[in-house]
């Protein structure tokens, strides 16, 4: 979603800002712009891609201080006028903003009454006018006056022609980082925009502001009391953040292929063969507090929620602790009951998803304990949790999540194993699971080796306007994730259903034009699943079955894709991987840009 960059230093800001915006492209956006303070304040912004902005950037847009933005429309369509930065009427102040100003309508009315002519449909523009109208004599004072009037979430960066040496930034709910260079400083909403320039980074906390000049930065609160936020070295490999295709393949493809390595990283140092358990030091919970857990509640959004459902099954099966997953986006709106002996688990690749972050804050406000399963180190959700498990998937650039999801599954398996072993999970079962987890990287490799066959099946599916993905019990969240991946990048209608529920309604839709992708592992439910497939087959519905070698599909007319056997509890991971390839090849067949699906953002930072 929206991205912020900023620069103060000795270089010409505009090209540097545009380059940094390009590094935020994966977040999803529909317009881009920059503001630079030189002899005067100059703004260039455009609906469209960052390269469209680069094409129209005036050659003489010089200045050593500036801010830039990629916008994902919330208030008003994607037009040049609605793109950020927004300015006041005189063009003295420029503002870029992530998040939403909730009382924008009231503020717009108030400004209009005061005779201010608003140029755009956005909530952000009001902030530029409020800064300009402030009587404070410092930029910090003006920004604070404006903040006093707004309600909502924000990451903000402000420049002012009368204060040409600085960028002032403020954070409430939307991430903001300050990067420290050699006599130059950077601002960004995402580490990806900074890594080419510096690995010394400070994360602002909610409620903090910062003044950023070429000499350094200071942080403070709205009452002007100084805070002690400092910059730290982050362990990053800049090349992992490079965008664009690798060897002519989309990022999603590269990321799918990385899964054996990322799963291995997620497991590294966390399995204990001697005691047949897992050790997750980051949980910061000893055996006694783990034993005191009476329930596990998992919260995430989109695919993270579906993997959360897989995680809930793992916890119930291995630890025999009641567990369920819920969409974080729903949870926080229903005034949830928070129980002291429930372990809440927030799961997120980006660590920025606002609904998940707000769910964490709601739990903590009510005194609950919440741990995070998060990929991005130091992200807002990771920092808001009481402890947690980093996924070690590495940077994920493609909007359609793949390698982060498989490491989430591994994180849940490790958590369930550790919870189980402090309870009644036997040594023998513990050993079985440890061995199963260790086998996963090589088995994922095997699934990926079957790409050609999966690509063939995908071509046929791409022709259908509408598809079902079905599974039962452990297979159902796999079906949900498969349908999600398929619809995200192929734009086909893909609906997930419990296999058991088919004959209670959706069977009416089955026809030769509506294919079904069925998840049929070799487990205690195989016979029931195969019986349901016969009902589909009898109505002429084409079938693709993701299953294990040896499962007897009888006379079914079905395209079958076999995945390697592991322990039953771990099946969902290996069943998920072919569904990623299926979605990918269907999208390629249809000619879509798989890395930048329409209307979607990598990090969903607005409610």
Q: Which residues bind ligand AGP (CB under 6 A)?
A: 301-304, 348-350, 353, 356, 399-401, 488, 603-604
C-alpha span between 93 and 112 (Å, rounded): 18
Q: Residue 53 to residues 158, 184, 230: CA-CA distances in angstroms?
A: 20, 24, 34
Q: Which of 81, 70, 87 is nearest to 32 (CA)?
A: 70
Whether the link from the prior residue into 488 is cis, omega within 30° of 0, is no
DSSP state of 268: T
Minimal distance in Å, beta carbon 598 to ligand AGP? 13
Distance separating alpha carbons of residues 519 and 506, to the nearest angstrom: 17
| Beta carbon of residue 413, minimum distance to ligand AGP (angstroms, whole number) | 18
**Which CB atom, from 23 or from 596, has the smaller least distance to ligand AGP?**
596
Task: Using the minimum distance from each CB to ligand AGP, give the nearer residue, 348 or 406.
Answer: 348
Beta strands in 52-92 (DSSP E): 65-71, 86-87
Smallest gap from residue 561 Cβ to ligand AGP (A): 20
- The rounded distance, in Å, linking the Cα atoms of 482 and 255 is 16
CB of 72 to ligand AGP, least distance (A): 13
| CB 584 to ligand AGP: min, Å | 12
* Angle separating helix axes 571-589 and 302-319, nearest 10 degrees: 160
Question: At its nearest, how many Å lie between ligand AGP and the CB of residue 447?
Answer: 18
Closer CB to ligand AGP, 323 or 376, in the complex: 376
> Distances in Å between the alpha carbon of 461 and those of 434, 473, 478?
36, 24, 18
Q: Least CB distance from residue 283 to ligand AGP, whole Å?
A: 20
- Sign of the dihedral through C-alpha 179, 185, 187, 192: negative
- Residue 81 or 600: the one with the smaller Cβ distance to ligand AGP is 600
Burial 243-262 (b: 16+ CB within 10 A, else e): eeeeeeebbbbbbbbbbbbb
- Nearer Cβ to ligand AGP (206/488): 488
Task: Tell me whether residue 6 or residue 411 sits nearer to ligand AGP (CB atom).
Answer: 411
Residue with tokens 């994180």: 411
From the candidates 142, 297, 487, 602, give the one annotated as an active-site residue. Answer: 602
**Cβ distance to ligand AGP smaller for residue 158 or 354:** 354
- Cβ distance to ligand AGP smaller for residue 150 or 400: 400
Quick one: which of 594, 218, 120 has its CA closest to 398? 594
Is 485 designated active site? no
Q: What is the distance between the alpha carbons of residues 427 and 415, in angstroms, rounded to a whole number?
A: 16
Minimum CB separation of residue 400 from ligand AGP in Å reads 4
The answer to whether 355 and 607 have CB atoms below 8 angstroms apart is yes
Q: Is position 142 annotated as part of the catalytic site?
A: no
Within 11-76, where are the H helices? 13-22, 50-56
Measured in whole angstroms, the distance separating CA 461 from the mean position of its chain's CA atoms is 27
Is there a contact between 516 and 469 (Cβ–Cβ < 8 Å)?
A: yes
User: CB-wise, 167 or 376, nearer to ligand AGP?
Assistant: 376
* Strand extents, DSSP E, 83-226: 86-87, 93-101, 152-160, 167-172, 177-180, 185-188, 200-203, 209-213, 216-220
Provide the minimum distance between the beta carbon of 367 and ligand AGP in the complex, in angstroms, as a whole number: 24
Looking at the DSSP bridge assignments, the partners of residue 153 are 100
Contact 24, 51 (CB under 8 A): no
Sheet hosting strand 387-390, strand order edge to edge: 323-327, 295-300, 342-348, 369-374, 387-390
- Calculate the alpha carbon distances from 70 to 129, 388, 512 in Å: 21, 31, 44
Residue numbers annotated as active site: 2, 602
């Amino acid at each position: 979603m929206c991205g912020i960059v900023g620069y103060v230093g000795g270089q010409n800001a505009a090209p540097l800002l545009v380059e940094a915006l390009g590094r935020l492209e994966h977040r999803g956006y529909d317009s881009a712009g920059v503001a630079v303070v030189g002899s005067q304040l100059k703004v260039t912004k455009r609906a469209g891609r960052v390269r469209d902005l680069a094409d129209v950037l005036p050659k003489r847009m010089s200045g050593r201080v500036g801010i830039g933005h990629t916008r994902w429309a919330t208030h008003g369509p994607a037009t040049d006028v609605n793109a950020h930065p927004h300015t006041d009427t005189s063009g003295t102040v420029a503002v870029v903003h992530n998040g939403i100003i909730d009382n924008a309508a009231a503020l717009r009315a108030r400004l209009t009454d005061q005779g201010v002519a608003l140029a755009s449909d956005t909530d952000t523009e009001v902030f530029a006018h409020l800064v300009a109208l402030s009587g404070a004599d410092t930029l910090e004072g003006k920004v604070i006056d404006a903040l006093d009037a707004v309600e909502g979430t924000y990451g903000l960066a402000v420049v002012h022609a009368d204060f040409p040496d600085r960028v002032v930034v403020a954070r409430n709910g939307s991430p903001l980082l300050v990067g420290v260079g050699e006599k130059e400083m950077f601002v960004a909403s995402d580490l990806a925009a900074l890594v080419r320039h510096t690995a010394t980074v400070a994360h602002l906390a909610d409620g903090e502001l910062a003044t950023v000049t070429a000499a350094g930065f200071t942080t403070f609160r709205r009452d002007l009391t100084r805070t002690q936020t400092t910059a730290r070295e982050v362990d990053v490999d800049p090349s992992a953040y490079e965008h664009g295709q690798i060897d002519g393949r989309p990022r999603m493809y590269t990321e799918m292929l990385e899964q054996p390595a990322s799963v291995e990283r997620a497991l590294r140092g966390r399995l204990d063969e001697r005691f047949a358990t897992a050790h997750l030091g980051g949980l910061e919970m000893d055996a006694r507090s783990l034993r005191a857990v009476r329930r596990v509640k998992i919260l995430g959004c989109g695919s993270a929620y579906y993997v959360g459902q897989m995680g809930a099954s793992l916890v119930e099966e291995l630890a025999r602790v009641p567990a369920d997953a819920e969409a974080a986006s729903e949870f926080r709106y229903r005034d949830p009951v928070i129980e002291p002996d429930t372990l809440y688990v927030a799961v997120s690749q980006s660590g920025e998803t606002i609904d998940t972050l707000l769910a964490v804050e709601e739990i903590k406000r009510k005194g609950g304990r919440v741990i995070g399963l998060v990929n991005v180190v130091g992200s807002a959700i990771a920092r808001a949790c009481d402890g947690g498990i980093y996924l070690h998937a590495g940077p994920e650039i493609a909007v359609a999540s793949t390698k982060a999801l498989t490491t989430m599954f591994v994180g849940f398996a490790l958590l369930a194993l550790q919870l189980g072993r402090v309870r009644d999970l036997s040594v023998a079962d513990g050993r079985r699971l440890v061995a199963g987890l260790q086998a996963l990287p090589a088995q994922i490799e095997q699934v990926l080796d079957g790409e050609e066959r999966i690509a063939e099946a995908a071509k046929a599916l791409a022709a259908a306007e509408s598809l079902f993905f079905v599974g039962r019990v452990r297979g159902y969240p796999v079906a949900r994730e498969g349908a999600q991946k398929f619809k995200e990048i192929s734009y086909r209608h893909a609906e997930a259903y419990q296999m058991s529920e088919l004959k209670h309604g959706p069977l009416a839709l089955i026809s030769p034009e509506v294919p079904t992708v069925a998840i049929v592992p070799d487990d205690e439910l195989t016979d029931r699943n195969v019986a349901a497939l016969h009902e589909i087959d009898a109505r002429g519905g084409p079938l693709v079955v993701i299953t294990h070698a040896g499962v007897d599909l009888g006379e079914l007319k079905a395209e079958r894709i076999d995945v390697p056997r592991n322990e039953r509890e771990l099946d969902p991971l290996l069943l998920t991987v072919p569904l990623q390839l299926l979605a990918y090849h269907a999208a390629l067949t249809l000619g879509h840009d798989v890395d930048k699906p329409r209307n979607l953002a990598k990090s969903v930072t607005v409610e």
